[in-house]
Amino acid sequence: MDDRLEERLSALQKGIPLEDILKGLDQREKELEPLLRLVASVRKLPHPAIDASRANVNRHRLVMVAQRQPRRAGSVSYTFYTFYTFFRNWLKRPLFPALVAVPVVACMLVVLLGGGLWAVGRNATTAVFQAVDGQVEVYTPNSSQGWHSVVSGERVRSGSNVRTHSSASTLLVFSDGSQAYVGPDTDLTLTALTGGLGKPLQIVLSQYSGRTSHIVQPARGGESHYLVETTSGTARVRGTAFSVVVDLGGLTRFAVDTGVVVVDNAGNEVTLSAGQATAALPGLAPEKPAYQFTLLNQVTAIEGQGWLIDGIPVQVPDAVRVHGNPQVGQNVLVEGRILADGNLVADRIELAAQGEPRQAFTGQVEAAIADAMTVAGKTVQVDSQTQVTPGLSSGKAVKVTFAVEANGSWKALNVQTLDEPTEATPEPTATPDLNAKPSLSFEPDELEATGCGSDFTFVGKLLNTGEEPKDYAANVLLGYTLIKGADFVEWVDLVPAGWERIDAGQQVDFDVHMTLNAQWGSAPAGSEIKLRVYIAQETNRPEHHRTRLTLTVVSNCNVTATPTATSTFTPTPSTSGTGTATFTPTPTISGTGTVTPTPSGTPSVETNCTGANPHPTGQRLAARYGVPYEEIMGWFCQHYGFGEIDLAYSLSREHNIPVTEVFALRASGMGWGQIKKALEEPEGTDNVPGHGKPNKKP
């Protein structure tokens, strides 16, 4: 009967009508009739289907996984089969457990040692969820958990998938301070997240749908990178802010706020600079870079592909996905590009809530007269109420925020240059302690170094000037922005870059390592690099910390017809009762005279300290502390930064001890915070140098 049933079922599968099959049943087969009717009903049912948008997202994901998969063909290799066979035979032998025990123990030791190393590099190979808002889920393949909701502070590692539901969003913060905002209805994979233990930090995000916005710190070294892959192209960046929107259908829009982004697809690449955007489709070259626009306003007309948004004509090609089916009279958010002919073409439209209109576009300033300005071929009216970034000139890339006047003209409300990177201040996510009123301050707030080498290290000090013990700062995270000379910077490292807690009155030290590239060596004397360190995050009083530390590196390379300064530095380790060492600088500057400011000793160390001479900061410090300029430069030529010298003299004055002892403490390995603390403690307290961070100074 099983065979007979199968015979009839096969006929049904072939498309033979049920009634015809039933007619062919003989008496013995009558029992099959209800079963065949049941099968016919099951086959006719409208079975559930996967949501079309999810299917598209999954397809994108799959294609990208396939692209990353190593190209292999054929079956399991012969080598593997041979090994397998050999191993299987050994399993059958009685002595197998003993023979296998030794390598197993060895493997366990390797795993234990490896575990330690893993812990060191863990921070670099994970990202942290912050500002989780709504339902954000993560799934890590081969883990015991399936998709599960995340909370702020949770870590996510390479290979994990992240998705946000409608109205949900989160921030992914990487170990170098780079951040990725993940918007609603976004689906992505942290495809690669490597780094730590001296390895370059490599971040690869594969985005299948939705919107992400990125603030990327300058890449550390040539092998470091930050990539956002989509089925329609890959964005490569090295220190910039940009966004990626992947729409169903694979249309991807890449838009740059600051810096430069290279987008490549199908072997073609375009370079986007600040304010520019491109769109790309799978398998095709990205569109030419174009300036972008955003309109958040009412739809005033829709005629085929022509839309009017508050009277502004926008082309909406059929393939552009319009989210939410907006109608005339409703508010929409339109994002698009300004083509070379001046036409506005939409890349994306979505229904928006009623609210304040917001209209903006980017472009280069082409002309500016008293009451008007032409940007990207669009003329906007400018009046006394228009806020314009000072120093604006022709050729500058700007973002213009505007309103449409009754006569249809555009009135500029704000014209802002795009060249200066904006600082990102992520929202704190931990619960703030409302009683705590911390106040963080960089002291000093300016450090300067002069040199021609490739490596510079500054020591920054961050002080919580909160007055009462309750005024602690929580989850402090530093950020930095290169505001000048970014082209010379290979990488920047803040160590440490954050603290869980800084008590009121407590001071913490951090190092800012800056590695410059080869171009710095050929930069003209006087060239500058400026880096600004800021408080990117603090939980208890996030809006309060406006303190900034500005680090300046001045080139003294390629100096012609200027006196050559050569310092002879004489560190004199003189043993004192406290066991600390005393160093005395003896700078000698040839061409301007030779000065021996303090008692000297042996051995003598010659330091080449050529360059801009006299150095203005050196002069300033000399004047401030009433010591010879050469003395200041003597310390400087021993690779102490001006900030450190300033600090050392300040401590020396404050505690009435020779500055040489302060430098000796630093040379012994103590951090500046420890030195300050040690000097502030009453006499008799054990101050054992060497418990601080390792000394990096010569």
Partner 1 sequence: VHPPRTPFSAFFLNDTFSRLTPLSFNEGIHFRYSGNDMPADIPTDLIARAQMGEPAVIGALYERFHLNVFRYLYYRLGDQYVAEDLTSEVFIRMIRSLSAYQPQNVAFQAWLFQIARNLAIDHYRKMGVRDEVKLNDDQAPHGEDVDAAVDRKLTSDRLQRALAKLTDDQRDVIVMRFVADMPIAQVAQSLHKSVDSIKGLQRRALIALREILTEWEVSYV
Residues that bind partner 1 (CB under 8 A): 1-3, 5-6, 9-10, 13-15, 34-35, 37-39, 41-43, 45-51, 54-56, 58-59, 61-63, 65-67, 69-76, 139, 141, 144-147, 248-251, 266-268, 279, 281-285, 287, 317-320, 345
Of the candidates 686, 640, 643, 694, the one whose C-alpha atom is nearest the C-alpha of residue 668 is: 694
d(CA 691, CA 677): 13
Closer residue to partner 1, CB minimum distance, 144 or 602: 144
Collect all residues with Cβ–Cβ distance below 8 Å to 222 and sequence separation of at least 6. 200, 490
* CA separation for the pair 617, 646 (Å, rounded): 10
Question: Which lies closer to partner 1 via its Cβ, residue 290 or residue 412?
Answer: 290
User: Based on CB atoms, which residue is closest to partner 1, 2 or 686?
Assistant: 2
Cβ 39 to partner 1 shortest distance, Å: 5
Q: Cα separation of 18 and 1, whole Å?
A: 18
Q: State how far the Cα of 457 lies from the Cα of 494, in Å rounded to an integer.
A: 10
User: Minimum distance between the CB of residue 511 and partner 1, rounded to whole angstroms?
Assistant: 42
Contacts (Cβ under 8 Å, ≥6 apart) of 683: none
Q: Taking the complex as a whole, how short is the minimal distance between the CB of residue 338 and partner 1, in angstroms?
A: 13
Q: Which residues pair with 397 in a beta bridge?
A: 364
Least Å distance, CB 85 to partner 1, is 16
Among positive and negative, which fits the CA dihedral 288, 292, 298, 301?
Answer: negative
The answer to whether 489 touches 218, Cβ cutoff 8 Å, is: yes
Residues in the chain: 698
496 upstream amide cis, omega within 30 of 0: yes
Residue 181: both structure tokens together: 């905002």
Which are the contacts of 34, defined by CB distance < 8 A and separation ≥ 6? Answer: none
Amino acid at 664: A
For residue 121, how many other CB atoms are within 10 A of its CB? 16
Smallest gap, in angstroms, from Cβ of residue 73 to partner 1? 5
Smallest separation (angstroms) from partner 1 to the CB of 106:
29
Question: Which residue's CB is nearer to partner 1, number 13 or number 167?
Answer: 13
Contacts of 188 (CB under 8 A, 6+ apart): 161, 162, 163, 182, 205, 206, 207, 208, 210, 212
> In angstroms, what is the minimal distance from the CB of 47 to partner 1?
5
* Least distance between partner 1 and beta carbon 70 (Å): 8
Shortest distance (Å) from residue 294 CB to partner 1: 19
Residue 639, SS3? coil
Please, which residue, 35 or 107, has the CB nearer to partner 1?
35
DSSP conformational letter for 422: P
CB of 606 to partner 1, least distance (A): 58
Q: For 556, phi and psi rounded to 5 degrees?
A: -120, 25
Q: Work out how close the CB of 95 gets to partner 1 at its nearest, in angstroms, rounded to a whole number.
A: 32
Q: Output the smallest distance, CB 185 to partner 1, in A.
A: 14
**Range 220-228, long-range pairs (CB < 8 A, 24+ positions):** 220/176, 220/490, 220/491, 220/492, 220/493, 220/515, 221/490, 221/491, 221/515, 222/490, 224/195, 224/200, 224/491, 225/200, 226/178, 227/203, 228/204
Q: Which is nearer to partner 1, 47 or 92 (CB)?
A: 47
With contact defined as beta carbons under 8 Å apart, do 266 and 280 qualify?
no
CB of 323 to partner 1, least distance (A): 14
Which DSSP string do the residues of 86-103 spell out, in sequence order?
HHHHHHTSTTHHHHHHHH
Task: Please say which residue, 322 or 595, places its beta carbon nearer to partner 1.
Answer: 322
Query: Residue 332 and residue 354: Cα distance in Å, rounded?
Result: 9
Min CB(9)–partner 1 separation in Å:
7
Of 1 and 109, the one with the shorter C-beta distance to partner 1 is 1
Q: At what angle do helices 642-655 and 659-667 cross, to 10 degrees?
A: 120
DSSP string, 648-664: HHHHHHHHT--HHHHHH
